[in-house]
Amino acid sequence: MDYRCPLCRADLGQRKLIHAIVASMESDCSVCRGRLRMNIHDAEFAVVLVSFGAVVVVGLLAYWLQSHALALLLFGVAMAGAAALPLLENTWLRRWPRYVPAGKPPAAS
């Protein structure tokens, strides 16, 4: 994932923790103060949606069937979902720009 500011090309990779906490999709560059928007790839959205859906389904099954094996599977599904995004970022989305100027429409995947 390319974490550079599209306006001044400063590396904003240290801001990942801030964006994990902040719910807003727009923020300011810490160097040039330009308004930036997070650029979410369709694959990221799909991974989050599928992993959340799998956690819900397996969690409901584990609760309904009172199965310890399914509860353990639930933990594994949650860990796989948590590991999927960093893996996707470091392999397939290596050159994907994380930020775009706030006025620009989303990039096509």
Confidence of residue 18 (pLDDT cuts 50, 70, 90): low
Q: Are 26 and 46 part of one and the same domain? A: no
pLDDT at 57: 96
Q: Are 52 and 66 part of one and the same domain? A: yes
* Model pTM score: 0.72
Q: Which residue has the tokens 């796989």?
A: 80
Q: Are 51 and 88 part of one and the same domain? A: yes
Q: How many domains does the chain have?
A: 2
Q: pLDDT tens for residues 23-78? A: 567 778 878 888 888 888 999 999 999 999 999 999 999 999 999 999 999 999 99
Which one has a higher pLDDT value, 60 or 13? 60
Domain that holds residue 51: 42-92
Q: Are 32 and 54 part of one and the same domain? A: no
